[in-house]
């Protein structure tokens, strides 16, 4: 295979009459109907001026037109640039200026933010929906390459710095990611995937969409996460739930509110990514779901996956698992400050092509065949990877190293805490304070003093937070992953209040 649409072609041939996609607007497509819609969209895009090598910017939330446009772009050798409609106008303007798309498509029929971004762009029928389209613009296309090394998508990520970079993922990257995810999950054509992870993010695009289309599974797309809606879906026909820890925490909190201590209809596969797993929290999640909770590690630049677990239920393993088949990992211990700990390096068919129009940033992370992830980790005797923090997030306190995930896990263990984000705050003398931002399951569910005592019972003195700030929702990406670089600005008023 040299193009991502070929994954879908095989499923369409094997399962033409099986459901492929449903979405929150009520659209439902079989694999044959999806194929017909893709081919019509291909003709429509060509008529509007989209050429091989052009960038197709799609401003969207999860809905059926997104996979339709992805597959149509693949057939045309165009590059899809999916961006979340919930970003601000200045954020979108920066990405548009950097990407220079030939066409911009706004999913205005299902997304109010997309409609606002679209302004007075004309509405046309495209990908089975009434969408707004701007362009064609006079831009230069990328060179078309016959092999799978051609860029398939550009995903913009802010990482921890707040500066967006366009990650170029190739067709080979997406094919590897989709096939690996499907194989490791044992996915079948009769699986129903809960598709709430954003398709504008690599986790949803690869581990959810590409894996589902590769196996002929049914993907139920939803534009936004709702704990109540997800819980209802899990009690009906959903068999595969890919999510991040914040989603799992919200689902279980919703269940407790309904008087449920476990699902009546257990899933076949449930996974968690984007954050380390506390063993006690993992145990509670498995008791609720009735099956093992599988963890993993990856990032946009690695097409989502680097490592994954394959544990039995009850296994206390808190690691991110073993490398995917065909993937290598190593540690650069010159970066770490403790023996056996270092920056995680990885290489293999999952590594991005580079950052779009940013050779300097690409050269910083892609060196000698390896990608430098910026994450600190250790590899245990069983070859499993443990992520202990970000290189730039390591907190130095009193000469000791403090890894934020360990402090976060201790505070998340309290039943009144929904999620926690821990950062370091420099102070005079080169030392750092530890700030813990705790989002509670309900206002006034616990005091900061009570949480401090809870932490003191679980953490060494130098690891205990200098200050615990009780908050509402933490600033987060569309996936639910907390954006730590925004915490101090987002909660500036609370930080000014000594009692906050």
Q: At what angle do helices 65-76 and 31-47 cross, to 10 degrees?
A: 60
C-alpha span between 313 and 262 (Å, rounded): 14
Give the pair of three-digit tokens for residue 394. 């390591």
Q: What is the pLDDT of residue 405?
A: 82
Question: What are all long-range contacts of 491-498, with beta carbons under 8 Å and residues at least 24 apart?
Answer: 491/437, 494/469, 495/435, 495/469
Ranges 46-55, 180-189, 230-239, 458-467: which has the least confidence:
458-467
Q: Are 487 and 422 in contact (CB under 8 A)?
A: no
Report percent pLDDT > 90 for the chain: 67
Choose among 244, 302, 239, 303: nearest CA to 271: 244
**Strands 370-379, 366-367: parallel, antiparallel or unpaired by DSSP?**
antiparallel
User: Is residue 359 scored above 70 in pLDDT?
Assistant: yes
Q: What is the pLDDT of residue 477?
A: 76
Q: What is the pLDDT of residue 79?
A: 98
Give the model's confidence band at 23: pLDDT under 50 very low, under 70 low, under 90 confident, else very high. Answer: very high
**pLDDT tens by residue, 280-309:** 778 888 999 999 999 999 989 999 789 999
Region 102-114: mean pLDDT is 95
Q: Are 109 and 66 in contact (CB under 8 A)?
A: no
Give the model's confidence band at 186: pLDDT under 50 very low, under 70 low, under 90 confident, else very high. Answer: very high
C-alpha span between 169 and 302 (Å, rounded): 9
Give the model's confidence band at 380: pLDDT under 50 very low, under 70 low, under 90 confident, else very high. Answer: very high
Q: What is the pLDDT of residue 160?
A: 47
User: Is residue 187 scored above 80 in pLDDT?
Assistant: yes
Q: Are 303 and 173 in contact (CB under 8 A)?
A: yes
Q: Which residues contact 308 (CB under 8 A, 6 or more apart)?
A: 184, 271, 294, 295, 296, 297, 320, 321, 322, 324
Quickly count: other Cβ atoms within 10 Å of residue 400's Cβ. Answer: 13
Q: What is the pLDDT of residue 500?
A: 54
User: Is residue 146 scored above 90 in pLDDT?
Assistant: no
Alpha helix positions (H), 347-431: 359-365, 404-412
Q: What is the pLDDT of residue 275?
A: 61
User: Is residue 203 scored above 70 in pLDDT?
Assistant: yes
Give the pair of three-digit tokens for residue 198. 């954003």
Helix (H, G, I), strand (E, B) or coil at 323: strand
User: Counting beta carbons within 10 angstroms of the beta carbon of residue 179, is it exposed (0 to 12), middle (13 to 18) or buried (19 or more)?
Assistant: middle
Angle, CA of 154, 157 and 161, to the nearest 5°: 145
Q: Are 227 and 254 in contact (CB under 8 A)?
A: yes
Choose among 204, 186, 184: nearest CA to 194: 204
Residues in the chain, total? 500
Q: Which residues contact 177 (CB under 8 A, 6 or more apart)?
A: 202, 206, 207, 210, 211, 303, 304, 305, 350
CA atoms within 13 A on the CB side of 153: 29
Ranges 145-154, 231-240, 266-275, 303-312: which has the least confidence:
266-275
**Domains of the chain, first to last:** 5-175 (3.40.50.980), 225-390 (3.40.50.12780), 395-496 (3.30.300.30)
**pLDDT tens by residue, 390-419:** 777 778 776 667 878 888 988 998 999 999
């Amino acid at each position: 295979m040299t193009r991502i649409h070929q994954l879908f072609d095989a499923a369409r041939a094997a399962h033409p009459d099986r459901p492929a996609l449903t979405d929150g607007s009520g659209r439902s497509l079989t694999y044959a109907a999806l194929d017909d819609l893709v081919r019509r969209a291909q003709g429509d895009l060509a008529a509007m001026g989209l050429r091989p090598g052009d960038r197709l910017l799609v401003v969207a939330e999860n809905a059926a037109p997104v996979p339709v446009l992805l597959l149509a772009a693949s057939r045309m050798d165009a590059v899809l640039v999916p961006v979340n409609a919930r970003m601000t106008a200045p954020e979108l303007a920066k990405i548009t200026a950097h990407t220079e798309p030939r066409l911009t498509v706004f999913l205005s029929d299902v997304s109010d933010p997309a409609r606002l971004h679209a302004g007075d762009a004309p509405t046309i029928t495209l990908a089975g929906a009434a969408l707004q389209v701007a362009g064609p613009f006079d831009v230069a296309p990328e060179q078309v390459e016959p092999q799978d090394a051609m860029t398939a998508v550009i995903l913009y990520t802010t990482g921890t710095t707040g500066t967006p970079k366009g990650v170029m993922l190739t067709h080979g990257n997406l094919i590897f990611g989709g096939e690996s995810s499907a194989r490791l999950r044992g996915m079948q054509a009769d699986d129903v995937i809960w598709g709430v992870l954003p398709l504008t993010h690599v986790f949803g695009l690869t581990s959810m969409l590409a894996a589902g289309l590769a196996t002929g599974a049914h993907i139920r797309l939803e534009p936004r996460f709702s704990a109540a809606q997800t819980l209802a879906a899990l009690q009906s026909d959903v068999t595969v739930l890919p999510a991040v820890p914040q989603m799992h925490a919200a689902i279980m909190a919703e269940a407790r509110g309904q008087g449920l201590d476990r699902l009546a209809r257990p899933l076949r596969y449930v996974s968690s990514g984007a954050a380390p797993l506390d063993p006690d929290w993992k145990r509670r999640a498995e008791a609720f779901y009735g099956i093992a909770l599988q963890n993993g590690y990856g990032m946009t630049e690695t097409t989502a996956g680097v490592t994954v677990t394959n544990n039995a239920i009850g296994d206390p393993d808190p690691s991110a698992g073993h490398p995917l088949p065909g993937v290598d990992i190593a540690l650069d211990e010159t970066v770490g400050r403790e023996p056996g700990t270092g920056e995680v390096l990885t290489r293999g068919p999952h590594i991005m092509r580079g950052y779009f129009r940013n050779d300097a940033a690409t050269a910083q992370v892609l060196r000698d065949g390896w990608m430098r992830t910026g994450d600190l980790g250790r590899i245990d005797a069983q070859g499993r990877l443990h992520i202990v923090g970000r290189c730039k997030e390591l907190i130095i306190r009193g000469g000791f190293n403090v890894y934020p995930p360990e402090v976060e896990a201790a505070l998340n263990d309290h039943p009144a805490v929904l999620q926690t984000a821990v950062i370091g705050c420099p102070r005079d003398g080169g030392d750092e304070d530890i700030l813990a931002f705790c989002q509670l399951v309900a206002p006034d569910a616990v005091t900061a003093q009570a949480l401090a005592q809870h932490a003191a019972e679980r953490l060494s003195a130098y690891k205990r937070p200098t200050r615990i700030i009780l908050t509402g929702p933490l600033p987060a990406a569309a996936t639910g992953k907390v954006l730590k670089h925004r915490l101090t600005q987002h909660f500036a008023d609370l930080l000014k209040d000594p009692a906050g």
